[in-house]
Structure 1
Amino acid sequence: MPARPPSLRSITAFEAAARHQSFTKAAAELNLTTGAVSHAIRALETRLGGALFQRSGRRVSLTAGGQALASRIRLSVALLDEVFDLTPWLRRDRLVVTTLSSIAERILLPALAELKGALPETTFDIRCSSVLADFDGDVDVAIRFGPGGWHGLETSHLADERLFPVASPHYRGGALPATLDDLAGCALIHHADSNWQLWLNPVGMSARDLRSTLAIDDASLVLEAAAAGHGLALARARLVQPDLDSGRLVRLFDHDVAAEYAYWAVWNGSSPKRALIKAFVERMQEAFA
């Protein structure tokens, strides 16, 4: 059988004495007698087979072995602090949601009033990041545009996406491309997750034959760049609709294609907030619909 660990009293006495470099101050902090602290530390020394402190009258200092033990105990105490930080466990009404800024701005925030109405006791903590969430931290659920199938995580398909070109109605003084041949005189704005070649393949064209002057890694900024007249954007239908409704952008051509990726909700299946996450995901499915 494995040896029983030292008593917590011995460990806390040693940690306090190491921190204060004084048995007397450790005793005062722990509401013990100096003799009790000394006894607890001697029990540790007996167990470990070596001195942890050098004693000189009432003054003490750590030995090399004592310093090594103190370092490891400080690390263990820090880990225990995290374990007993009950806030993430007890705040079952707080939902930490991470997503891309484009999804937050154009889908999540417009749906927030309905979400809050459906989940009135929930506090939403929305964080924007392009990195898939670390669910070992305090993140509860992520909304992503991607391929799905993330290993070890629960996922729910929220929606597919369609792609088509858009431009500012004032691009090139309003002389927008009316035919595919007109694309040769236009600048294309690129985004890694919305590849122009997907749209060009069915019409027998190549992006290499067209002028590309700008690449942006945020889907919302791609649309902003197009609205500012910097070129044509291959827009995601679900993100661009407000701009089409307002007239900031106009759709070019009737042809559209399916995006390579889709929208997904992603979470840790062992989360203690599974019921709240499920309710949130159901509402997000309605928002995407």
Structure 2
Amino acid sequence: MTVKHFSVEYNKVNDRGTFSPGDILSGRVTVVTSGETKVQCFLVKAKGKAKVTWYEQEGQATGVHSDKKKYFYFEHIILQDKNKGDGSEIISPGRNVYPFTFAIPNVDMPSSYEGKWGKITYSLRAQLTQSIWLVHKTKTEFPFLTKSEFPFASKSDMIIIGLKEQQYATRISFYGFEKVTMNVTSEKMGVKQGEAMGVSVEVLNESTRTVTPKFYLCEKQTFAAQSKRIVHTNDILFGTGDSVPAKTSRTITKVLSIPPQLPPTFFNCCMMKLEYRVKVTFDVPLARDPEIRLPVVVLLGSPKPHQQKPKRSIWFRKLPA
């Protein structure tokens, strides 16, 4: 065991430390040995891939649904013996550094992502084979960002305009002969990572009970494999509005702040996609909670922190008798 240290590293190409299609991926493999080391094969690989796997109960058996897609694969042989097995290549004692360079294909590929039942990864792997029984391996992943500004739809003008427009929805719920109307408005559909937007709900409570609106950001992950599909959803509470007493109306606005690290919406992977919704629902005792969902597209970006103060209830009035 003369190999004391074995690692692979890459050079950053920007302040974020991310890579995109068309970038040059360069780095080094470092090997530290305590003596002369015979090598059968020594190589470094760069790989981009997507993989999904989940299990389902199918009768008495458990079915496995899995699929994978390779976006690119490159291999660079650093050392290889001439006679394929005699270990004729030698690594000198001490610290040895071997540089490498790969050109990432300039084609559309999804960003790095890890979900409930699948992930998209981009990695560097190095392998040093001394014999069939002695193989050293090392691996590191590098963050990858798609070049597509809108990795969720075609770049039509209507889609781009729609991201900036307000979204509206109305729901009328009945509790016996009593009625509660909820009108929900979001400032826009497209919002960048780290950005904020207002979500307003106008409640016309004509019932004899108090209702309380709750605001959620909903995540929807969809995975596909072998003609099967599975969905994972997650609701994140980001606000509870003031209660609206019986026979009154009120408009309440909450500010939704998108976490800077929240993965952006994407559809440009054939095996998985990520979507978001804003959900507004009532907390009504002894009743099925009505809800309204509005689409939200999370875009890549790190804008300045939102300076506007959180909005509060705008008005409060009695409904006419």
Give your verdict on TM over 0.5: no
Q: Which has the larger radius of gyration?
A: 1
| Greater helix fraction, Structure 1 or Structure 2 | 1
Q: Quick one: higher RCO (CA 8 Å, sep 6+), 1 or 2? A: 1
TM-score (normalizing by structure 2): 0.24
